[in-house]
A and B are shown apart, each in its own frame.
Chain A
Amino acid sequence: MGLLDARITNRNNVLVTSVDNVMNWARLSSLWPMGFGLACCAIEMMATNASNYDLERFGIFPRSSPRQSDLMIVAGTVTMKMAERVVTLYEQMPEPRYVLSMGSCSNCGGPYWNHGYHVLKGVDRVIPVDVYVPGCPPRPEALIGGLMKIQELVRMEGLGLTRQDALKRLAEKSVDTQQVLDQARRAATA
């Protein structure tokens, strides 16, 4: 990074790009999630924010107010009582805003899907979700993977491409998980 900067500034070079690209680069390099957690997933999210996984290297830094954040990480069990508060917080976030649903509970109710009278069976029943991260709770690597997806989504957006189209294109670019698993297994047994 430093070397690249030096090469540009020292020779008085000019970078030419579209406004879209610069805007998107700026947005995806400073995703500010809202600092709130709901259950054990939040512990994992905090671990991801902390020094070992260091989310700040991606410019991801939790903010204490929905009005300053553009990403909501729904980390944990959303109770019926909390659901309305989540909607309020979502509505307080300025657009464009993104929602990452972290863990089985906020994806679909998780272990509470049947007998959990008090649990909302998926946060997508009350707010639109862009990326789902499976796991109970997901490991920090998985959360970072989800955040990378959000960044891809931001990169794709621009004039003439709606969020729905971008999400569709993102889904088409899905990774073949079996291949990744095989690769990891080969590496582990080698």
Chain B
Amino acid sequence: MDKGMEEAGNLMSAMVQESKAAYDIIRERFGEAVSEFDANPTMPFFEVIDNARWGDIALFMRDNPRLKFNYMACLSGVDYLAEGKLGIVCNFESIGNFTHRIAVKVKCQRDGGSIPSVSCVWHTANWHEREAYDMYGMVFDGHPDLRRILCPEDWTGFPLRKDYQVQETYHGIKVPY
């Protein structure tokens, strides 16, 4: 955290403070496998550094009695072209237990990288991971049914990658205008 962030941290809103408390529990358990806490006022988040442990972290977040993140609100994909990475951003809430919420980022290599699937932890992740795969092409290890979900199954390329070039024809039909 840089100096500016620290100053902002002193003025953390109640919402961010709750997220920080939840993060501290995760940090205590997983140490260096997770990054520093980012007190983003809109959506506080942390990043999973050792992405092989993402499955354990997910289970811990769901089952720990002080966390109980039982609701995955969203899972989005991101293309970090400059870093040569792809990533996901997951938003979690704890419905009926706590008011805290937090976002988790997981990244993998752009070429041939993979992220552990958490579809067995939150069933919501099943289709969300398929969508992220469909649009960005990162592989989710251990996903029960990793197929494209929106594009046709024989589509070429991953449309939301920043260097995506649309294919010329699809089944003999011209695609570009």
> Which A residues are within 8 Å of any B CB, using their own CB?
80-81, 83-84, 108-109, 113-114, 117-118, 120-121, 125-126
Contact = CB atoms under 8 A, between A and B. Distances in A.
20 contacts: A80-B152, A80-B170, A80-B173, A80-B175, A81-B152, A83-B173, A84-B171, A108-B177, A109-B177, A113-B177, A114-B177, A117-B159, A117-B164, A117-B175, A118-B150, A118-B151, A121-B174, A121-B175, A125-B173, A126-B173
A121 B177 contact: yes
B166 interface: yes
Interface of B: 150-152, 159, 164, 166, 170-171, 173-177
B159 A125 contact: no
A88 to B, nearest CB: 12
A118 B152 CA distance: 9
A84 B171 CA distance: 9
Nearest to B165: A117
A84 B152 CA distance: 11
Nearest to A117: B166
Contact of A125 (B164, B166, B174): B174
B138 to A, nearest CB: 19
Contacts of B174: 121, 125
Contacts of A81: 151-152
Nearest to B170: A80
B36 to A, nearest CB: 36
